[in-house]
């Protein structure tokens, strides 16, 4: 390690500065890595998005994106609904876990994470076996609900697969709230529900924001769940990109990716701004 050269030089300010400078070098491999493997590939995406298959500069890929607006819209809509459901289910879940005994908390979190060790594709197949027209659920209830192949099933799949991403950050956030916050709220006249609404909810806003981000982004871009649980009757933007990749239409695929990335990064920035304003910079 390079910094070792500075040896035991004492603690004067000068040395401190020098040392700080020296130790920022530690970030160098990462910076190198990030430039090479994060930024550069993105530029290549931009390059592909603005060229045709012969490498000529062209706006046609971007222009053709208007055709995909409905797919974009549908993906966004389903993702929003799935995220809202995840939040509605996940927040109480995170709250209940955070309020459980510490010993139990660990078990609950473990149970929450465990399904993630099973492959996503296998999980989806398993859901299909349950929800299909002739699946477990229908044969058990002796009904003939048509679930797989509807958008509802896709939303269910998204919620099922991404729920842990919503619960974990919210749980972390709630469990970090000091007990005295609960007590102070009660002390000042807040009932149990009032406490959650007026104190705990605003205090866990950063967890909610990151949970929402972590569910929304994969939901928008998923391409497997929609194919299987959606019965293939409609396409989401992830499916479209995958199809472009398979059929070799890389330029259009790159253009869609680029637009999606820009949209998502913009909305995340807005969301973060919003949460910063809400919290007045408390959450560091």
Among 42, 55, 63, 145, binds another protein (CB under 8 A): 42
User: Distance between CA atoms of 30 and 34, rounded to whole angstroms?
Assistant: 6
**In Å, how far are 74, 124, 146, 180, 219 from 230, measured between CA atoms?**
13, 11, 11, 47, 14
What distance in Å separates the CA atoms of residue 266 and residue 263, rounded to the nearest whole number? 5
Binding-site member from 106, 143, 176, 273 for another protein (CB under 8 A): 106
Candidate list 158, 174, 207, 228; residue touching another protein; CB under 8 A: 228
Q: Taking the complex as a whole, how short is the minimal distance between the CB of residue 63 and another protein, in angstroms? A: 14
The minimum distance between CB 141 and another protein, in angstroms, equals 14
Who's near 271: CB < 8 A, 6+ residues apart?
A: 209, 212, 213
Residue appearing with tokens 């659920």: 137
User: In this complex, which beta carbon is closest to another protein, that of residue 59 or of residue 88?
Assistant: 88
Q: Does 86 bind another protein (CB under 8 A)?
A: no
Residue 216 backbone phi and psi in degrees, to 5: -60, -45
Among 57, 122, 140, 142, binds another protein (CB under 8 A): 122
- The size of the interface with another protein (CB under 8 A), counted in residues, is 146
Q: Is 280 in the site for another protein (CB under 8 A)?
A: yes
As measured in angstroms, the least distance from the Cβ of 126 to another protein is: 4
Q: How far is the CB of 127 from another protein (least distance, A)?
A: 5
Quick note: the x/- pattern for another protein over 51-80, rule CB under 8 A, is: ----------------x--xx--x-xxx-x
d(CA 246, CA 271): 34
The single residue among 86, 148, 215, 225 that binds another protein, judged by CB under 8 A, is 148
CA distances from 233 to 127, 131, 145, 162, 229 (A): 18, 17, 17, 23, 10
Burial class (CB in 10 A: 0-12, 13-18, 19+), 254: buried
- 270 binds another protein per the rule CB under 8 A: no
Report the sign of the C-alpha dihedral through residues 183, 94, 170, 74, in that order. Answer: negative
Looking at residues 153 to 172 of the shown chain, list those that interact with another protein (rule: CB under 8 A).
Answer: 160, 163
User: Under rule CB under 8 A, which residues in 5-24 are in contact with another protein?
Assistant: 6-8, 11, 19-24
Phi then psi dihedrals of residue 101, to 5 deg: -65, 145
Nearer to another protein among residue 59 and residue 250 (C-beta): 250
Q: Which is nearer to another protein, 170 or 241 (CB)?
A: 241
- Structure-token pair, residue 13: 């300010």
Nearer of residues 39 and 63 to another protein, judged by Cβ: 39
Q: Provide the 3-class DSSP secondary structure of residue 51.
A: strand
What is the nearest approach in angstroms of another protein to the Cβ of residue 280? 5
- Residue 274 engages another protein in binding (rule: CB under 8 A): yes
Residue 156 · residue 149 · CB < 8 Å: no
Q: Does 213 bind another protein (CB under 8 A)?
A: yes
DSSP state of 36: I
Q: Residue 75 CB, nearest distance to another protein (Å)?
A: 10
């Amino acid at each position: 390690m390079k910094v070792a050269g500075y040896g035991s030089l004492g603690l004067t300010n000068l040395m401190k500065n020098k040392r700080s400078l020296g130790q920022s070098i530690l970030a160098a491999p990462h910076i190198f890595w990030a430039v090479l493997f994060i930024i550069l590939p993105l530029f290549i995406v931009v390059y592909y998005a603005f060229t045709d298959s012969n490498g000529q500069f062209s706006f046609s890929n971007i222009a053709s994106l208007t055709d995909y607006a409905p797919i974009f819209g549908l993906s966004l809509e389903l993702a929003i609904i799935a995220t809202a459901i995840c939040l509605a289910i996940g927040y109480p879940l995170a709250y209940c876990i955070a309020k459980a005994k510490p010993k139990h908390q660990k078990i609950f979190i473990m149970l929450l994470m465990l399904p993630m060790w099973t492959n996503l594709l296998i999980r989806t197949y398993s859901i299909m076996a349950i929800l299909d027209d002739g699946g477990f659920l229908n044969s058990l209830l002796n009904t003939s609900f048509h679930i797989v192949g509807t958008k509802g099933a896709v939303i269910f799949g998204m919620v099922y697969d991404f729920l842990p991403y919503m619960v974990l950050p919210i749980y972390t956030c709630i469990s970090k709230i000091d007990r005295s916050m609960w007590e102070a709220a009660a002390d000042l006249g807040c009932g149990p529900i009032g406490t959650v609404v007026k104190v705990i909810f605003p205090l866990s806003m950063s967890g909610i924001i990151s949970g929402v981000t972590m569910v929304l982004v994969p939901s928008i871009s998923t391409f497997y769940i929609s194919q299987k649980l959606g019965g293939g009757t409609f396409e989401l933007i992830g499916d479209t990109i995958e199809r472009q990749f398979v059929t070799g239409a890389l330029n259009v695929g790159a253009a869609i990716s680029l637009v999606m990335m820009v949209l998502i990064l913009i909305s995340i920035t807005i969301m973060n701004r919003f949460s910063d304003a809400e919290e007045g910079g408390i959450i560091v």
